[in-house]
Structure 1
Amino acid sequence: MPTHPSIQTQHAIGALVGSAVGDALGAPFEFQHGGLYSARFPQPVLGGRGEMIGGGSWEAGEFTDDTHMGLALAESLLTRSALDPADLWSRWRAWASTAKDVGILTHHALACASHEGAAAHAHTTNGGKSAGNGSLMRNTPVALFTLRGPLESAVALARAQSRLTHHDDANHEGVAIHTAMVRAGVLGEDMFVAMDGAIAALHPIAREHWRALLDSSWTPAQAKFGNGTVWTCLAQAVWAVRHASDFEESVRTAIDLGDDADTVGCVAGSLAGARWGVQAIPSRWTTYVHGAMQTPTGERRYDYVALQEIARGLLGHKPVPFTPSDAEGGPTRVHADLPIYAADLTGASKAPTDWAVVSLCRTGGAFARHAVRREVFLIDQYEEHDNANPRAALADAVASIDALLAEDPTRPVLVHCHGGHSRTAFVLKAWAMRRKGWSQDEAHAWLVQSWDRVHTKNPVFARVLREEWR
């Protein structure tokens, strides 16, 4: 059953941010054998920058061509309000002119000045092979842009963008399935039922091929081709998401398959983000995800907030305006023995850069110079649908506080939201409840002794602490 539009928005953001996160996490393991991610990180790294390590030409948290091409597609859709092949082609060629990495088939296609005939040229130049994963990895914006229209229109647009660079019909089949799955996840429907429906709409030979690849019994050991192909890339991503319990497990499992790890991570991240929403993506990853690319009008930089706004724009929403907090408050120490501080946004922005910061609101880039920070997606509104998964966001924030304290017991950890009232209190009370075994009332009594901005007006936060938090 379709969910509330506010929840759909958060799952749409999850799809776009999730694809970028999977891309950035997988980049250091690209073209290497499987299992290296788990070997490097046998346990989750909750402190520091988490598992965002970068490597080679990629900075920690930097996404690759997978996300670049998708963002160029998104920007073109937003600017032209439709798929404009000439506009998109100019954006892709501008990006490729300075890109660190461009896939072989895409490179051949973009060598053509015009999109007309480019896919056929690339197919021929590549020895008659063009069933790569390049049109799949960039497809997520299509599912968001077409969300309010019929599925048939969404699939048609996905196929059209795929045909610009990829000649093989398998590419267009893959993006059709991917579009249906992302769309279903965002709408709160079963993405695997949607997947079956998309497969059923294919012509008979393709239908049987994809049905076998995406069957619940399929495993990566059965792959006949490398995951640089659209067949195995999508099959591995679907397998990882189907058998995972959350976003983190999905992406870790996908990247651990090795070879084209960033692209499988990207596709799995888009599906997992659509399925579980942005609040289920660990903040130790979303905080640091970023990238830059050349556009026809100059370089454009993207961070976590920029990705959120691209996703919102694709749904037809206006940008969320940034407003500074009204009155400065904090930083104020709230624990006698541990260096935990509370503040509002203005007060927090004056904290030394060697402090760790857990932000529960948009910050306007105030903490860009803080090496260790977290940006947790949490909305201070009073309806159940305003936060798709508030418990996941709360658990992330509390785990972050504990991990940052454990990493350096002498380093202050500053928790703040916009006004320092509701979200700050929500997280700090939850932290104290778990740390001390207190009730919500006991945690409230403790916090108000040192932080007088606390209020309890948000009924959803109160319910989560009362009913779901242990």
Structure 2
Amino acid sequence: MIGAIAGDIIGSVYEWNNIKTKEFPLFSPQCFFTDDTVLTVALADSILTGTSYVENLKQFFQWYPDRGYGNRFHHWASQANPQPYYSWGNGAAMRISPVGYAYDDLETVLTKAAEFTAVTHNHPEGIKGGQATAAAIFLGRMGQSKLEIKTYIESQFGYDLSRSVDDIRPTYAFTESSQETVPQAIRAWFEATDFEDAVRTAVSLGGDSDTLTCITGGIAQGFYGGVPTAIATQVYAHLDDRLARITRDFMAMVERQHGG
């Protein structure tokens, strides 16, 4: 999941200032963690502790109230008894990466991804985006090739992953929809040569940069077997003690259970 957090932090400064190039300072002085990181860590904590994800989403929202949440999630998290709001947005795919690392088989990954997504994003497109992201992470972690993963995602979820980054980039603009974010994030990973190149490629597409790059970063970590030490060090430097501790604890759990 640290790959997803890295993507969020690196992409944070380009969400409203798209750059459409891979040439940029990887960590600018203005980088920060957004709601993508907060809700990702909340899910990791739920997996670690067994705490209800609804309870954790509300708690982490209270701890970090000004991190760029969408209006519908902001309203949801403020309710005493929040109910799913049939969202097809990309806000579930951005936070789902821990599922791709925590479980031992694809069926469980898909089931858990749907479960954790549906607490808010219970629209079929929202659930599909969460499942596709978690599945890509899991399959990469299991050693499947890029082509095998691409073929599975296309056949299982109906995403068109044929358009190249160069084809997507010129007209790609900000969108909050899962169906217009997850395929583009996967394609950015598919064309990359390593973890850093995946993140740079995702940023270069433009759009909702922190979320797009968060999704790509999570998938790239699984496929490439980790995050470069220099990048991980920068990530932890941008987190507070609570978020850093939970992230380290989750990564240590994954290492103990699966060897990485």
TM-score range, shorter chain: 0.7 to 0.9
* 1:445 paired residue number: none
CA distance in structure 2 between the partners assigned to 1:153 and 1:107 by the alignment: 29
Q: Quick one: which of 151, 176, 179 aligns to 2:134?
A: 179
Q: Does residue 96 of the first structure (1) align with residue 61 of the second (2)?
A: yes
Report whether the alignment pairs 1:300 with 2:257.
no
| 1:35 correspondence with 2:20 | yes
Q: Does 1:309 align with 2:257?
A: no
Contact kept in structure 1, 2:99 and 2:109, CA below 8 Å: yes
- Distance in 1, matches of 2:21 and 2:170, equals 20
SS of the residue aligned with 1:289?
Answer: helix
The residue that corresponds to 1:13 in the other structure is none
Counterpart of 1:18 in structure 2 is: 3
- Tell whether 2:226 aligns with 1:286: no
Task: Give the partner amino acid of 2:94.
Answer: M
Q: Indicate which of 66, 75, 79 corresponds to 2:49.
A: 79
- Report 1:438-449 matches (<5 A): none
CA gap of 1:28–1:226, structure 2 versus 1, over 3 A, is: closer
Which is higher, the Rg of structure 1 or of structure 2? 1
Within the alignment, does 1:68 sit opposite 2:38 as a pair? yes
Structure 1 residues 104, 141: closer, same or farther in 2, change over 3 A?
A: same
Matched with 1:268 is: 216
What is the CA RMSD across the aligned residues, in angstroms?
2.8
In the alignment, structure 1 segments of 5+ residues that lack a partner are 1-15, 46-50, 124-129, 294-298, 319-385, 389-470
Contact 2:18 2:209 in 1 (8 A): no
Judged with a 3 Å threshold, the aligned counterparts in structure 2 of structure 1 residues 64 and 255 are, in CA distance, closer, same or farther, namely same
User: Residues 429-461 of structure 1, C-alpha deviation per residue, up to 9 Å, x if partnerless?
Assistant: xxxxxxxxxxxxxxxxxxxxxxxxxxxxxxxxx
Q: Would you tell me which structure has more strand in proportion to its own residues?
A: 1
Q: How far apart, in 2, do the equivalents of 1:197 and 1:256 lie?
A: 25
Residues 1:239 and 2:187 aligned together:
yes
Check if 1:253 corresponds to 2:201.
yes
Greater share of helix residues, 1 or 2? 2
Specify which structure has the bigger relative contact order, considering alpha-carbon pairs within 8 angstroms and separated by 6 or more residues. Answer: 2
* 1:358-373 correspondence to structure 2 within 5 Å: none
Q: Indicate which of 77, 82, 99 corresponds to 1:110.
A: 77
* SS of corresponding position for 1:32: coil
* CA distance in structure 2 between the partners assigned to 1:27 and 1:225 by the alignment: 16
Count of matched residue pairs: 256
Letter in 1 for 2:242: R
Aligned ranges for residues 409-424 of structure 1 at < 5 Å?
Answer: none
Q: Which structure 2 residue ranges, 5 or more long, are not aligned?
A: none
How far apart are residue 173 of structure 1 and its match? Answer: 1.0
d(CA) in 1 for partners of 2:169 and 2:94? 22
Taking structure 1 as reference, are residues 249 and 307 closer, same or farther at Cα in structure 2, changes over 3 Å only? same
The one-letter amino acid of 1:289's match is V
Q: Secondary structure at the match of 2:205?
A: coil
1:228 partnered with 2:176: yes
Structure 1 length as normaliser, TM-score? Answer: 0.50
TM-score, normalised by the number of residues in structure 2: 0.86
3-state SS of paired residue (2:149): helix
